[in-house]
Chain A
């Protein structure tokens, strides 16, 4: 068995500013060693530890999709020691990636189902991975209707804007983009908080419907009643949690909710599972 603490060496291949306030950047990495990309093969919904030698490690959701080859992508919000350092790094710099870690959205279960994806703020990274994965030609037929509700404070704070507007044009995915508010008179999408838009625009649930929800705790909290009104049962609501992490492999003991370790038994849980554990997230 390999040393699970040893990161794969990677090079920063591209850095893009992701939001108008520059608080988020998208980093594209390529593996330095042949064969490592294959060893890193992942599913949409997993995360990795970005490892900066001498600075530290941070758990970040994988934003690229398993269907995109040759690189891995992460979108990082600048907040503390490691994320601030990363924001100042340059293309060409060498660092590490450890993973893939955690479980993923239940893709087998979601086959032949209607899926509604609900995201808020910058917790859209693994949802982007999921959408790209589902829309890939060979995968699209595996799913029934796909709806997406995604909201941010303002248009400039939406992640992956170019892709959002592309998806908006397609007829095999229903996009419901929203912002809390905007002074842009040409804004042609929704205005309002995510829970409200969910209630108005998301499809009603039947037994073949699932919702995937990712966002700040407050959004998650207020989205639950909206989904309940639409008929989603706790086992049809899938969530991804973010707890403070270090090891990412279930050993350092800090990320637990009850007996579940979010890094290893999660980060993806159904609401039904979460309802059985202490709400320490």
Chain B
């Protein structure tokens, strides 16, 4: 057992952090909560790509860096610490590139990976549907074979970044007669096709983050199929482990934590800084403790992946833990701000750019997206603890 990062890893962390601080100093962007999923900044993504920081863990022959998941965790941890606008490449880098590396044909790798590596694939994840949430396998969107093509019909919803995407990763039913888990396939294709339309949904913060996506007679070539036809559901389960495992499940609103600590040091009430109020100190210390425990969960997941295992219950555990932490952070921030906590980012006198307000509202979705906490606890109970299903 060894909790130390190697010298190389420490240097890498420093390099990432220097890069991000440099960007902030140049005024290229401002740190914000949820920037990994809401901060669309194509230029930033290009600079990250030039650093070689997309596809870090992919094999070298596929254009990646062949580095460890711990290294990637270090990279994403710094991105989140600084609230960097990484949404353009996040999904493609985290999940879709890996799926192509794993399940793609040589031809697909040759066509798709360079585009992802260059940071040019703004990917939406088309999984959920109005009647298929947690129970994804009950999805209805159809992909029907027609010569060299599939014809796609149906609707996806809650597609994050749908208004910015140029590619979509889509799960659709390819065998309507098979049992529901066994007739699903995965596709990856450009959204610049006739029949694809996107309708934004305003989320609870009032912003546009997720979308409805409609497919009407959309013709995609068979080369858009990823992996084995009708085996898509099993491929997805594996990808979901990766979707769940990231540092964003703990540090999505980290900039709020730093700002909050700073705020309590600088804000005086009743003649002394808030940070000297015993109750507030205790709340902040509890947050710090919760954060550090969460980081250990996250590092464990990365280590499991480095061992070549799929982190199924470990990533469930860390995601449930991490998202609950993020929600607690947002709630505690409002409590500490008191009356000021209710001011929106657009309001006069809003402290910390209204981050607490925004985060409190947006964090409600954290324990739903990528597997609700309840579903993930089911996974822990059945797979880790081997409790009976009936």
A-B interaction: no
Tell me the A residues contacting B by CB distance below 8 Å. none
